[in-house]
Structures are given as C-alpha cells and as structure tokens.
C-alpha cells in the first residue's frame, strides 16, 4: 500500500481530526416522532451555528443496497465511510446470486444438500424472519426452500427469529401467516417443510460482540435441542406471548418450539444440515461459533450434533468464518484506515461494545485486526447488560472521557468514535428514552468540541444512518401518525430513510477548502466522508474515492 500524497497547500492544524459518528441520528422528515429534533441539543446547535454543514445520504444505493427503498444500517454505513467508495452489499449480493443461480451451483449449497440427502436428515434454516433487508430477507429463504424441494431434500425446518426492529415492532403475524401458506403449497408426498422453533431476535440467538452469550445459549437450546415451551404453531406461540406479557414487542418474544405429541419437530440431529440465512455478519458470528468451534467455552452446549453448517455469507474474512458460506461478501480494499497507516498517521478508534466492531472491523472493510500495531489503538468500553431504555445515556460519557484525554495527549492524528445511543435506544421504541439518549449525547458533543478547540483540531460530525429521527409509524400516503387502540402513537423501531449531517467544526480554519456550504458538492452519500477526512489531515484522497463535500480552494 502506497502512502497518500500530501497536499502542498495544506497549512496544518495543531491537533487531530476527530470523526464523531452519532449512530442512528439523522434529519427527520416528520415533526411528530423526530426525537432528534425534539431533544434539547444546545451543543450540537451551537456547533452547527459556527460550522459549515450539509446533509449526506445514508441509505439505499448510496451505501450499496439494492434500491433507495432500503434502509441504511450501521454495517454498510461504516463500510462506506471507511472505504470512500460504494460496494454492493449483502442484500444485493445475495439477490444477484439467487437470480443467476450461482448460489445453488456453489460448493456450500451443494454440500449441504448432498449431506442430508445422503443421511436422510433435515435441512434447517435459522435467521431473522422478516423482509427488513438489513440482516436477511424472506424472499431469500423462500427461494432456498423451493430449490431444496427441487433437488430432492425431503425435510426442511425453519427456525424463526422475529424482528420488530427493522420492520414494525409487532408485525410477526403478518410474516407468519403468508409464510405458512407458502410452506403449505410446497408440502406434499416426499416433502415436509415446517417452522420448528423461534423467538425474538433480542432474546435468543442474535447477540453480537460477545455482549450477552446467554442469548445464544437460549437459541442453541431452542433450535438445536428443541427445548422450550411447546406450541402447535408459531402463530399460537406469538399470540400467547403477547397475551401473557403486556406490551411485549417482536424482538423480545420468548423462545418456543413446535411440537407434536409432546416431541419437538425441529430439533437438530446428526446428519442434518444447518444454514444460517442472515447475510449480515455481526449477529451471525456467535451462533456460528457454537456450531463450528471444537474448543467452545461460552456455554455448555451439552452435545453438538454432527451437521453440515453454512452461513449465507462469510461473516469474518480474516478468521475464515464460517467454514462454508453460500455467497461471498464484497471484496473491499484500500480503505482509509489502510491508507492512513501507510501514511504514518496515528489513529484511535473507540466505542462501547455495541458499536466497537463498527469503528474497527466494518470501518476497515470487514477486516479483523489492525493495519499497523504501532500506529493504531482500538478501545472498547464495555456496554451495560441492561435494556437500553433503562440506561439511554449508555456509555457516551465514558467514550467522551477517553476521547478528550486522547485529544489533549498529542498522541493521535486521527480519532474516530461512535456514540451508539441514537441507534440502540432508538430500536427500543421508547420515545422518552430516545430523547434522553440524544440529550445525554449532546452534553458529550459539547465537551468534545471544547477539547477539539483547545487542541487546535477539527471535528467532523455525522451519522451512519437515521433511526431516532423517525420514531413513530406514519401512513405512507397521508404522512399522518399511525395511532394504536389506546390512542398513543405506534412506535417505529426500524431505521429511517432520512439524510444525516456532515458538519465540519474547524476552529482554526485557514482557507484550504471552501467553507461556504452553498458551494459544496450536492447529492453525496456518506462515502464522501473518507475523502473529507483525508483532506482535513492534509493529504490528497485517492483518485477513485468519492469526492469530499467541500472543494479544495488551492492545489
């Protein structure tokens, strides 16, 4: 990797460039339900008042997703910010692989099918049961089940992880009913396809970053051992849970198994194949480890059936996890982090557990580890293991403490940090908590801004996607808030399609770039932030990077 070329016209700054990512905090389309606008964020307002700023796109094609109807997410957002270009991402890659048939001619699919045909076992699918297109899509699952039947698989079991975050918070039945009808049409002599188990994505299976392995253990016991409360159907399980736990939303639904005559129909046995059909990696790694690792100590698996396991994609390219995968992830090269390391830029990446992987692994193009141990420090602040609505401030103060110390130390040239509040609390749907999370974060933005000014640095404030800016469901035609039977607004827990900020706070501005946002490039996505940060560090960005918003004034 060659070092970046220096900009001879750059006059320098005393301090570092700090990229501040307000996860899930965009500019709302609607007044009602915009917790970002509702929050008292005096510090952010003051920063904007004395800084040039524009909006950037953070969803759809701007971050490599199939269409502009697709919500952005933290993974593709950090990929885009970190690599300075747009790569086709998980959903698009999987859809194309299904359209061309490449998925079914690949070795992983053929091996999984051959294994169960040879053993007479079942083909199991585990994954997020929605069309949110952030972790998975039901169309992908349906295509694979239909193909399995064509190829002579006799038994299919589906283990449903209900969503309620990337889709409506209580929409599970809207997915269960048509899916059951789909399976009923496929079933016939020699082919039996049914739902075998399930539960909410934030209760079983889909933990990430090692935050709560008990979730994965519950999922393992449910899917693999067939242990849990028994029901005749997934619909019955969901309705019962909602009836017994007032106000529960889909992501928190308790685990269940489908049983006949007291015996689970979907337990995993020797000779079965298991496909984890999520294409996004962060919430796939832990259940994958439970299936694949011989020396596994996170919980007592009790027994590990001899199965052919495959993931939808390669979830960790450096660690080669999983061993089999159906679709290759985008090959992201020449990231900003790699260029900065080659250019001897001293870097700090920091967040709390919930987003630590985003400012490291995803920002570096789905790469584990550092580019240069001597130049890079990665800091993870452990997240609390409590519901986010109960601690909406999360660890933003601790993150700010570490960043302020780093700014004053003179040790770093570039600092990137992520405040998870707007996304993680936004997903709870608890409006008061989301407003609180924004105001707590704003206090820390004010502290960091003072430290940037004292150090003579530059602060770039942005977000990876929207969420907290769109907390109520709105009717798509009228734009009016959708209300529940009790007269309260129906909470929206998914990401938004809204733009995000790009604010350049540069207290010692010396004229190297045009600071009039009216002259800035319009229509850009968050991939433009890589070039912007490189320019603010005094370098010229690679020629094929998406251009930064603010034009240089002299070269």
The verdict on 320 and 358 lying in the same domain is: no
Is 74 a catalytic site residue?
yes
Residue 331 has pLDDT above 90, yes or no: no
Confidence tier at 140 by pLDDT (50, 70, 90) = very high
- With 90 as the cut, is the pLDDT of residue 65 above it? no
The rounded mean pLDDT for the chain is 95
pTM to 2 decimal places: 0.77
Domains contained in the chain, number: 2
Position 548 in a domain: no
Whether residue 372 lies inside any domain: the answer is yes
Single residue among 327, 352, 375 that ends a domain in this structure: 327
- pLDDT given at position 69: 82
CA distance 370 to 348: 11
Please check whether residues 261 and 181 belong to one and the same domain: yes
The pLDDT value recorded for residue 90 is 81
- Say whether pLDDT at 454 is over 70: yes
431 occurs within a structural domain: yes
User: What letter does residue 191 receive in the DSSP assignment?
Assistant: B
Strand partners, 327: 313
Does one domain contain both 428 and 512? Answer: yes
- Residue 501, domain CATH: 3.40.720.10
pLDDT at site 493:
87
Do 355 and 238 fall within a single domain?
A: no
Residues 371 and 318 in one domain: no
532 in the same domain as 467: yes
Q: How large is the C-alpha radius of gyration of the chain?
A: 24
Give the whole-angstrom CA distance, residue 481 versus residue 27: 17
Indicate whether 82 and 158 sit together in one domain.
Answer: no
pLDDT recorded at residue 443: 98
Instruction: Exactly one of 9, 51, 74, 295 is catalytic; name it.
Output: 74
With respect to residue 545, please indicate whether it lies within any of the assigned structural domains.
no
pLDDT in tens, 6-26: 999 999 999 999 999 999 999
Both 485 and 362 in a single domain? yes
pLDDT for residue 318:
56
User: Contact 17/412 with Cβ under 8 angstroms?
Assistant: no
What pLDDT shows up at residue 391?
A: 97
Does 549 fall in a domain? no
Query: Which of 286, 307, 327 is at the close of a domain?
Result: 327
Tell me what the mean pLDDT of segment 502-529 comes to: 97
Residues 346 and 357 in one domain: yes
pLDDT band at 317 (very low <50, low <70, confident <90, very high): low
Final residue before a domain boundary, out of 327, 349, 374: 327
- Structural domain boundaries enclosing 263: 91-327
Q: Tell me: do 22 and 146 sit in the same domain.
A: no
Helix 528-536 with 74-83: angle, nearest 10 deg = 40
- CATH code (residue 170): 3.40.1450.10
**DSSP readout, 417-482?**
EEE-HHHHTGGGT-HHHHHHHHHHHHHHHHHHHHHHHHHT-EEEEE-SSBSTT--B-B-TTT-PBP
DSSP 527: T
Residue 395: inside a domain: yes
Do residues 176 and 240 both lie within one domain?
yes
Residue with tokens 């938004």: 496
Q: For residue range 172-197, what is the model confidence (pLDDT) as tens digits?
A: 999 999 999 999 999 999 999 999 99
Residue at 551 is within a domain: no
In a domain, 552, yes or no: no
Quick one: 68 and 130 in the same domain? no
Beta bridge partners of 513: 552
């Amino acid at each position: 990797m060659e070092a970046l070329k220096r900009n001879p016209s750059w006059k320098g700054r005393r301090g570092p460039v700090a990229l501040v990512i307000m996860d899930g905090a965009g500019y709302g389309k609607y007044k009602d339900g915009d917790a970002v606008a509702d929050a008292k964020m005096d510090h952010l307002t003051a920063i904007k008042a004395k800084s040039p700023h524009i909006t950037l796109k953070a969803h759809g094609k701007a971050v490599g997703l199939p269409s502009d109807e697709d919500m952005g997410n933290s993974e593709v957002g950090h990929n885009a910010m970190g690599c300075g270009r747009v790569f086709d991402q998980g959903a698009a890659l999987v859809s194309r692989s299904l359209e061309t048939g490449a998925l079914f001619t690949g070795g992983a699919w053929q091996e999984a099918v051959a294994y169960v045909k040879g053993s007479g076992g079942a083909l199991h699918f585990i994954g997020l049961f929605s069309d949110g297109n952030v972790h998975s899509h039901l169309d992908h699952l349906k295509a694979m089940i239909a193909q399995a039947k064509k190829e002579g698989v006799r038994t299919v079991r589906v283990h449903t992880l209900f969503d309620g975050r990337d889709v409506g918070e209580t929409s599970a039945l809207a997915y269960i009913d048509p899916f059951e009808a789909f399976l009923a049409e496929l079933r016939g002599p020699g082919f039996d396809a049914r739902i075998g188990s399930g539960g909410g994505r934030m209760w079983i299976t889909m933990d990430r970053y090692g935050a709560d392995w008990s979730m994965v253990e519950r999922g393992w016991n449910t899917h693999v051992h067939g242990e849990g409360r028994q029901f005749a159907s997934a619909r019955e399980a969901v309705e019962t849970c909602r009836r017994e736990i007032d106000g529960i939303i889909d992501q928190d639904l308790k685990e269940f198994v489908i049983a006949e005559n007291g015996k689970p129909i979907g337990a995993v046995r020797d000779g079965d194949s298991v496909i984890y059909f999520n294409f996004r990696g962060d919430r796939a790694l832990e259940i994958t480890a439970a299936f694949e690792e011989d020396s596994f100590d996170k919980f007592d698996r009790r027994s590990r059936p001899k199965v052919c396991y495959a993931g939808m994609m390669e979830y960790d390219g450096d660690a080669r996890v999983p061993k089999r995968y159906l679709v290759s992830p985008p090959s992201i090269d020449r990231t900003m982090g790699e260029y900065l390391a080659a250019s001897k830029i001293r870097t700090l990446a920091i967040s709390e557990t919930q987003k630590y992987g985003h400012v490291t692994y995803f920002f570096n193009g789905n790469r584990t580890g550092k580019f240069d141990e001597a130049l890079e420090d990665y800091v993870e602040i452990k997240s609390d293991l409590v519901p986010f609505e109960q601690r909406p401030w999360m660890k933003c103060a601790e993150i700010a403490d570490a960043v302020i110390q780093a700014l004053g130390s003179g040790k770093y040239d570039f600092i990137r940090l992520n405040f998870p509040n707007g996304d993680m609390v936004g997903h709870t749907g608890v409006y008061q908590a989301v407003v609180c999370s924004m105001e707590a974060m704003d206090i820390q933005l004010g502290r960091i801004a003072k430290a940037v000014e004292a150090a003579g640095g530059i602060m770039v404030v942005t977000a990876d996607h929207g969420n907290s800016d769109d907390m109520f469901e709105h009717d798509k035609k009228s734009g009016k808030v959708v209300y529940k039977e009790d007269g309260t607004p129906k909470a929206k827990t998914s990401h938004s399609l809204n733009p995000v900020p790009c604010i350049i706070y540069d207290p010692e501005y010396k004229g190297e770039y045009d600071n009039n946002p009216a002259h800035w490039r319009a229509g850009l996505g968050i991939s433009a932030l890589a070039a912007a940060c490189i320019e603010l560090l005094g370098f010229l960005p690679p020629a094929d990077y998406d251009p930064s918003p603010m034009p240089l004034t002299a070269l």
